[in-house]
Every structure is written in structure tokens, then in C-alpha cells.
Amino acid sequence: MKYLKTQTTTSPPESFVSRQRLAFALLATCAVSAAGPGVAFAQASDASAQGIEEVIVTAQRREQNLQEVPIAISAFTADAIEKAMFSDIGDYVTRTPNASFITNGSRSRRQVSIRGVTNFLGFVGTSTTGFYVDDFSVAGSTINPPIMDIERIEILRGPQATYFGRNALGGGISVTTRKPTDEFEASLMADVSRFNTFDVEGVLNVPVVEDKFAMRFNVKSATSDGNIENIHPIGGGNDSEYEYVRSSFRFTPSDNLTIDTSFLYATEDVGMREGVPSGVFSNFAGNVLFAGQFPDRDGDGRSDPFVDTVGFYPENRDRTNFNTPQSVGTSIRNGVIRIDYERNDLLFTSISGIINSDFFLNGDIDGSSRDFFNEFRNLERQSISTEFRVQNTDDSRLRWSVGVLYAEDDGDDWNRTFVGAEEVFGLPNGFLIDREDSATRDNTWAIFGQVDYDITDRLSVSFGGRYNEETKESNISGFSGGFEQVLSVKDTFSDFSPRLAFNYVVSDTVNLYATISKGFKSGGVQIAPNPDAETFDPETLWNYEFGVKADLLDQRMRLNAAVFYMDWTDLQVAFQENLIDDNGDFILFGGVNNADSATSIGAEISATAIVADNWLVNVNVGYLDAEFDRFTALIDGSNRLLDGRVIPNSPELTANADVEYGFKYSAAWEGYVRAEWVFRDEIKPNTTSLIYSGFPWDVPSYDYVNLRIGAESDSMRLVVYAENLFDSNYYTNAYQKAFAGGLFIEPSFRTYGVRATFMF
């Protein structure tokens, strides 16, 4: 049977589009002509008198005003995080210009893109986007850590090599948690929302010895029936349980010495890899598994290889039918110790930690009520790193920072796929058709630093660099169908990445900056059907950027804008092949290609505005043109010329806005009404989709609106909310979850609830 495609669209009904456009028009009217960064500011009821408050960031390892840092940054303070109710990496990525994400059926399988720079190599391991929690890298084990008791989130766009311990090719996400203090503090949050979703979080801060020792504890538990029902008699669906516990301790034996330690344990367990069938087969299902067996019965390009009665997306957004229980989740454990010692205008910082994660995926993999395949998979990751930095702290014209890092990353993958009772390919029930056992180790050391010098009172220059050396070793054995290989490879990759930036103070409220910086991601090793493909090359990126940051109209408007050009060499892109060879053997393997060259050109504009008394507005807009210049990729058994094609997960336009009106109920109570709007342009989600068109390969543009109404006093906070208020029907990606039912789609849904927080 031919590869199944259809041009069916999933555009929302016209009435819905009209409502969305009306909502955006209202927001745009409030914003006048501003476009905003998603930062936090004073309460709306007080902002008119106070102006937009200063936002402090630590992107350059110093506390600085956001407007003075020559880096494109979206910063979210504790107040913004609380009001927007962030719970997932997608929540704050979608509030960032030229940032996007796709989902592959679980929290642990988000793939983030910043300015078109996407990690195509999976959801754990070497990451394109740096992810740091309290300056400790967690990207090797998770891209979506729990959000609890957060002080600030910073998203830095463009290569970041001179201030963070780990390299960050496309950008960095830095999360700063709240630290123990010398005051007793406690709070309890309870959230009840649709689908029997219950979320409870507690915070306890205990000062033990005044000015010397304090402790802080966080506990979070969230359960839900989920928005997808498995209609099979085994029941279930995407019901979920999330449990998070974090403890932190601050010891200050003297005025110039601070020791912070923290420990985290988190478990996430979902009853299925989330998604509903699209009815459009992958190449493997259409041309190999079901070849010639199921004709196009209804004439729209979709085939029903099983009678499951749930239907296909978009008509079906909440049902699936699989016959074997599933379990998908992650457990994370980490511990970090940080020591800060200041003496003689020097700050010495040491950060050491370990993070361990286990990802599991067990049960039905065909996604149907018939028993084709079952998979049992476990991925263990462990990262240990030690970072040491020294920087000056005086107010001289010369500011400098230098650091060294050593890290060791280990991974163990265990994967088994068994034939079910359907006896596919004539193989008996329980036959092992796919196996992988792998052990990988990456050893990294690096030295990095930056010098900032004020040439004049208005002009400053920054120069920095990073030398990085990584040794990668892999021992892999396994087979997929008729393809079997044992691989043991070791290779070393090294690089120097410089950064040069200028900052010019036009006035007390306007800064201009220009930056040239290089990003680097090391190559790797892999199982491949031929020896030439067992290693892939490092990826390098040069970023050229010009920006302006301004506080205008007596601090009633904050405007940040940037334009950039990025030039790639050897962009790493993942691929997967499945076919029947000349001997009739089933072949299934995945790997990494290097695109010879690619470019990304774009612009970003961000602002915060007080448009009237008690009215606050944020808007972000990003424009992006990211494409392959020269790339021949192996897709579905053939070499495909992709020159001039868009880089996957690179929307041309991203935009978001929020408007908040604040008011006072009484002397003790303040309230607010807050509307949020998010838009993402259409994308191609992966490399395979570049050679096909129509549904679901072309992921349509989407937008949605959230509404929140809140009231708060010194001891209590209440919020009533609706997310995806108009029930926008969209999806971020179509992925290969299962062989039957075609590619799977994680559907959108509307939710609403009530949240109450009690402060003691």
C-alpha cells in the first residue's frame, strides 16, 4: 500500500477564530503599539505611581538590572510565575519571542527550540539548550524539572559559553529557587480543576540559628484522571501522579561565607504516552507493517487497520483503545552544594552536584485494541559535575570572571520490544524483535571566562571565551529486526568559543548593544548500518546580534528589541529508518545526520507598558527565518535534498500578550483580572515531515486565550481561572507513538479550576 497522506485540515471553526481575533484585538488596543517581554512588575493598582519596577537578573553571574545586560533575555519574577501559574517548561517558553516547543507524549519528552536551534537528538543526554537550576546543569537528565517555590526564571537567547559551567549552543534557561531565610514562613496551596485534577503544594521555612542556619522544605503532590480515556476494558488513560519533594539549607558561619545545599526527589507516572490516533501512517506502518493489508476505505487517505471505534483526530480528541496497560514516567534525584566566599573584593564560588534520573516506558506500543507489539524501556542518566569560579566584586571599570568545570555523564539504556498475539511477520507471540543495551560515558572539562571594561562612561566592551574538551565513549549492543550490531567507540572533541560584545549607554534609560558569539556542541557515536555513520561531527554556530533596551515615558514603558543572524556548520539532525532489505529482513535503526550548513535570521521586540491607571500590558513578538542551506538527508530509505527547506520546529512568527487590571477590594484585599494570549505559527515538526505535506505533517498555526481572576491579602490568595478559554483545537506535533492508528497527536483541551493559597 502506498504511504498514506491526506490534506485534511484541522482549522478551528470560524466562530472560534472570530472570538480569538476579538480577544487579541482587545489586547492590542490596550498595548497601543507596544510589544512586551513577559517580565513582572508592581501590583497593577500601584503601578501608575511606581512605574515599571526594575528586574534583577544574574545572567552574567552578578546581580544586574535586566536593561543593562547585553544579552537578549526574557525574565520572569516570582510574582509573574505565580500569576501565570507556570507548571511546565511549555508555559514560559511560549511567553518568549522566537521560542517554541513540541511534545512527544509526556513531560519528559519536550523538545525546545530557541531561534530555530532545536535539540533533535532526543529528550535526555547532550542538550542544545542549557538548563540550569541554581547554576547547576540538569539538561543531561531532564528538560522539564518541577516548578516549585521559584524566585526567577531567565531565558537567554543565543549561544551562552562564558558564564555557565556547561556550554549552551542555542541559549540557556536558568531557574533560581527561593533560598532559606531568617524568618519563619509557611504556605499551603490547593488547586482543584477539571478532570478530577488535584494539586497540593506546601512550603515551610524554619530559621534554626539566627543569622547562621535556616532550612526550607517544599512538598508537591498532583493527581489527575487526565483528558484521554482508554475505552478498552483494562481502562485507564492518561491518568497521572506527580510527587515532588525538595529541601534546602543555608549555613552562614560568617558574613563572607555562605553554604547552600539542596536535595530534590521527584516522581512522575502517567498511564500512557499521551496521544490519540491521527489515522495517517508512518512509513514503517504504511509500507512495512500493514503493506497491502488495509485499503483506503473512506477515500480521504486514511486507513483503519483495526476496528477500535474511537475515530481519528480532530474528530476524536479524548479517546484511545489499547489492550495492554501502559506506564510512562520519570524519577529524578539530585543533590547540590554551593559555597560562596568573599574576601578582598573577590568572590570565590564552588558548585558541585549529582543528578540521577530514570525514564521508563512500559506496555502497549502499537496503540490499538489488537496485540501487535509491547515495549519495555528504561533509560538511566547520571551527571556529576564540579565548577569553580572567581570574580571581582569592586566597582572598578574592569569586571572579570573566570571558571573551570569538570563533569562526568553516564547513561545506561535498556530496551526490549516483543511481538504480541497477532504474530506480526509470522513471528510467535513473545518473540523478541528489538533489543538494545548501551552504556555511555562523557567526560568534560572546560575553562571559561569574560572581561568587561568601561572604555568611557558610556561605552563598555566585553570579551570572553570558552575552551571545552569532551571525551565520549559508547558500548552498544543490540538488534532491530534483521539489523544487529555491537559497537564500542571512543572519541574526543575540543573547541574554543569566543564572545565579543559592546554596550553603549545612549542615555540614562536607553542602551544599545552588539554581540558576536560562537556556540559549540560536540559530536558523538551511534549504532549505524555502515561504519562511516558510526560517528557524527560537532555542531558549531556563529551568532551576530544587535539590540536596544529602553525605559521610556517616565518608566511607563519598557522596550527591548533585537535582530540577529546565525550561521550553522554541521547542524546535527536525527533520523530513523525502517524497511525490509533485499533478504526480506526487517531493518529498524536511528541515528544522526550532519547538515552541511544552515542559517537563521530573525527579529524580536518586547515591551511592558502601563497604558492607563491600574492597567499593565506585556507583549512579545518574534520573527524567524531558519532554513537548511545545504543538506542531503536519509529519509524513508532515500537521500533527500533539503536545501532551502525550513528547519523543523522553527515557527516564522511567535507572539504572546497579557493584560492585567488591578484594583482594591478594601484596605486588606487587592484583586486583579488577567487575560493571556499565545500564538505560534505553523511548523514542520521533524525532518521526515519536510518531504510530505498535509495533515499531520504540516502542524497548523494556533492560538489560545487564558483568563484568571484573583484576590489576595497578606494571608490568603484566591484565583479562579480558565486555560484555553475558547477550547482551541490544536496540537504541537505528530509523533511515532504506535504502529497502528497512524502517527499520534497530543490534543489540546480546555481546563478550569480554583486555586487557594494560605500564608502563615
Domain boundaries in the chain?
14-759
Helix H segments across 431-576? none
Residues across the chain: 760
Cα separation of 539 and 71, whole Å?
22
Would you state the pLDDT for residue 120? 60
Residue-averaged pLDDT of the chain: 85
pLDDT band at 529 (very low <50, low <70, confident <90, very high): low
The pLDDT of residue 582 is above 70: no
Burial class of residue 512, CB neighbours in 10 A (0-12, 13-18, 19+)? middle
The pLDDT of residue 23 is above 70: no
Q: What is the pLDDT of residues 34-50, one digit of tens each?
A: 333 434 333 444 444 56
Would you state the pLDDT for residue 587? 61
pLDDT band at 123 (very low <50, low <70, confident <90, very high): very low
CB 270 within 8 A of CB 329: yes
Per cent of the chain over pLDDT 70 is 85
Cα separation of 429 and 419, whole Å?
5
Give buried/exposed letters for 556-584 (b at 16+ CB in 10 A, else e).
bbbbbbbebebbbbbbbbbbbbbbbeeee
Distances (CA, A) of 732 to 132, 649, 676, 681: 25, 9, 19, 10
Q: What is the pLDDT of residues 623-662, one digit of tens each?
A: 999 999 999 887 877 788 999 999 999 999 999 999 999 9
Helix (H, G, I), strand (E, B) or coil at 26: helix
| Nearest to 535, CA basis, from 475, 568, 491, 494 | 491
Minimum mean pLDDT range among 54-68, 405-419, 446-460, 686-700? 54-68
The pLDDT of residue 244 is above 60: yes
Regarding beta strands 229-230 and 136-137, do their DSSP bridges make them parallel or antiparallel, or are they unpaired? unpaired
Q: Which of 169-178, 408-417, 465-474, 713-722: highest mean pLDDT?
A: 713-722
Q: What is the pLDDT of residues 683-700, one digit of tens each?
A: 999 888 898 888 889 999
Would you state the pLDDT for residue 81? 93
pLDDT band at 581 (very low <50, low <70, confident <90, very high): low
Q: What is the pLDDT of residues 79-98, one digit of tens each?
A: 999 999 998 888 999 999 99
Residue 66 per-residue DSSP state: G
Would you state the pLDDT for residue 47? 47
CB 680 within 8 A of CB 733: no
Q: What is the pLDDT of residues 70-80, one digit of tens each?
A: 899 999 999 99
The pLDDT of residue 424 is above 50: yes
Mean pLDDT over residues 476-483, rounded?
A: 74
User: What type of residue sits at position 684?
Assistant: K
User: Could you please report the per-residue DSSP string of 348-388?
Assistant: EEEEEEEEEEEEEEEEE-S-SSS--EEEEEEEEEEEEEEEE
Name beta bridge partners: 577: 589
Count other C-beta atoms under 10 Å from residue 555's C-beta: 17
Distances (CA, A) of 651 to 4, 38, 309, 588, 681: 25, 19, 35, 30, 5
Mean pLDDT over residues 316-337, rounded?
A: 92
| Nearest to 660, CA basis, from 720, 609, 704, 616 | 616
Helix (H, G, I), strand (E, B) or coil at 293: coil
Going by CATH, does the domain composed of 14-759 fall within 3.40.630.10? no
The pLDDT of residue 233 is above 60: yes
Q: Is the dihedral of CA 59, 63, 65, 70 positive or negative?
A: negative
Per cent of the chain over pLDDT 90 is 56
